[in-house]
């Protein structure tokens, strides 16, 4: 798959709890990513909200919420990788994207580059989900031209954890990425609390 990614870390006082087999990598922060898959098996937009976390020695992103505008992506995300995908509408106006679902606003973001991109690099991209009581661990083969970005939240609903700042600290982009996502490995997850 090919496309573009913007993302960043946002401070919050109300980070959602992690499952007991994961530990946070950052204190009270959320990672927010916007991806536009423009070529490949599927073409769709995606918004991810998660917590940078560790599973054993493996660092990655635990996905709390994820919205997509493609039914096939939704089914694959739930059935293969164990991530909680939901359908949404993505409306783009220049550098702004507004994401809504059946409950209303999910987020409105403004995304822009800050300076030039670096040469193409391989970048590790690991995620964690839950499938039939097991922890899924998936690592994408991902290359891109990374660079700094401004990722600003213009609207954010009360149903998501409140953010302390409108701007990501830091914000980044991955221009013209290529990604392949093999099937996840499954690990027994201990029961919650």
pLDDT tens-place string over residues 79-128:
988 999 999 999 999 999 999 999 999 999 999 999 989 999 998 899 99
Q: Show the DSSP H helices in the chain as ranges.
A: 71-76
The whole domain housing 157 covers 2-188
Q: For residue 33, is it within any domain? A: yes
Closest by Cα among 84, 55, 83, 50 to 161: 50
CATH of residue 61: 2.40.400.10
Chain segment 9-57, per-residue pLDDT in tens: 999 988 899 999 999 999 899 999 999 998 888 899 999 999 999 999 9
pTM: 0.93
CA atoms within 13 A on the CB side of 44: 21
What is the separation of C-alpha 152 from the centre of its chain, rounded to a whole number of angstroms? 15
Asked if the structure places residue 193 within a domain, the reply is: no
Task: Kindly state whether residue 109 falls inside one of the protein's structural domains.
Answer: yes
Q: How many domains does the chain have?
A: 1
Residue 81 lies in a domain: yes
Structure tokens at 135: 């922890």
Instruction: Answer for the pair 22, 62: CB distance below 8 angstroms, yes or no.
Output: yes
């Amino acid at each position: 798959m090919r496309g573009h990614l913007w993302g960043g870390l946002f401070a919050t006082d109300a980070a959602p709890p992690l499952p007991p087999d994961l530990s946070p990598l950052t204190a009270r922060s959320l990672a927010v990513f916007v991806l536009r898959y423009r070529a490949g098996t599927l073409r769709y937009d995606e918004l991810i909200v998660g917590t940078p976390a560790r599973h054993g020695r493996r660092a990655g992103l635990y996905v709390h919420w994820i919205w997509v505008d493609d039914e096939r992506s939704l089914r694959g995300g739930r059935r293969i990788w164990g991530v909680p995908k939901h359908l949404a509408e993505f409306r783009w106006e220049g550098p702004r994207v507004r994401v809504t679902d059946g409950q209303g606003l999910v987020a409105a973001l403004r995304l822009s580059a800050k300076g030039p991109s670096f040469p193409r690099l391989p970048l590790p991209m690991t995620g964690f989900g839950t499938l039939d009581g097991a922890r899924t661990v998936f690592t994408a083969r991902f290359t891109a031209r990374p660079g700094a970005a401004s990722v600003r939240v213009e609207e954010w609903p009360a149903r998501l954890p409140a953010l302390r700042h409108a701007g990501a600290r830091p914000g980044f982009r991955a221009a013209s990425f290529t990604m392949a996502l093999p099937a996840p490995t499954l690990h027994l997850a201990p029961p919650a609390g």
